[in-house]
Amino acid sequence: MLLEGLETLSLLASEGTMAKVASRLYISQSAVSKRIAQLELRLGKRLVEPDGRQIRLTPQALELLARVAPSLAEMKGVLADSQTLTDSTPLPVACSETLLAGYLARFMHGYLEQDPHIALSTHHTPVILARVRGGDALLGICAGRLPPGHGLCAELLLEEPFYLVGDADQGERRSHDQGQPILTMDLDNPSNRYLREPLAALGLVPGMELDSYLALIELAKAGIGPVLLPAGLLSLVGEQGKRARPLPGLGRPLHLVYRQSSLQRERIAQLVEGIRAHFAQVKGLAKQG
């Protein structure tokens, strides 16, 4: 009961409303309210208060979460490791949206025929790491650099190169004293922040940063550029992608992440082997190309 209350409070801190927490936990809003009320009664302090249409955590609640969050994630992970994983149990996999679109869609289409109970969800890399640590996902497939001390097993699947789509000509690039403005993904995302320095070294500066690769793809297709895109998404851009300019030395690592005990479970081990083999094939095709 205490663990349920803390998990609910933690979700409320990130989601902001009882309705969103209820949706995440597959319970009713009244059940969410009851969990919070029971936790408040147990601790003898007020943990939440209304904030317009949302719920705000009190300073006491924020202090509590700061102290218990690492232990809570570890406990949830241990419980996930201990859960019976039958052939029909949902196997949650958290994945970067760009990797699913660029590399894994066809692989998953085939793999789901042999294991139809894989449950895919897409997130940014920091969220993927948090979900795997906390047991909400049993595998994660991440794009970009991983932060130090993430506490998970991480396998490098591929070093994915970047391309510039809709590149201007050399003369125009050199006419900009401050560098050539380009459209990029959000470089404030911790997984992408490392790209600022190598881009500057290439004379490229972010003129616009977007949180959605889908938006960047559509802008590239419309001829609005130049747009920075990873290799796996070039096929989604059409003719513009075929004329993309490679950026030597600029890439992003793609990692498979999991808790250390996960590979002891046969279904997870089989999926991991399938993903490894798939990316080995991708690397082989890239070398041939």
Its pTM stands at: 0.76
Q: Kindly state the tokens that stand for 227.
A: 């747009």
Q: What pLDDT, in 10s, does the model give residues 127-174?
A: 899 889 888 899 999 999 998 888 899 999 999 999 999 865 443 444
First and final C-alpha spacing in the chain: 56
**Three-class SS state of 284:** helix
- Alpha-carbon span 102 to 94, nearest angstrom: 15
Rounded to the nearest 5°, which phi and psi values hold at 84?
Answer: -65, 130
Give yes or no for residue 84 having a pLDDT over 50. yes
In the three-class reduction of DSSP (H, G, I as helix; E, B as strand; rest coil), residue 238 is classed as coil
Please name which of 17, 139, 2 lies closest in space to residue 68, comparing C-alpha atoms: 2
Sole residue written with tokens 């995302």: 189
pLDDT for 175:
45
Strand bridging mode 180-185 / 54-57: unpaired
When pLDDT is cut at 50, 70 and 90, the band that residue 289 belongs to is low
pLDDT at 20: 86
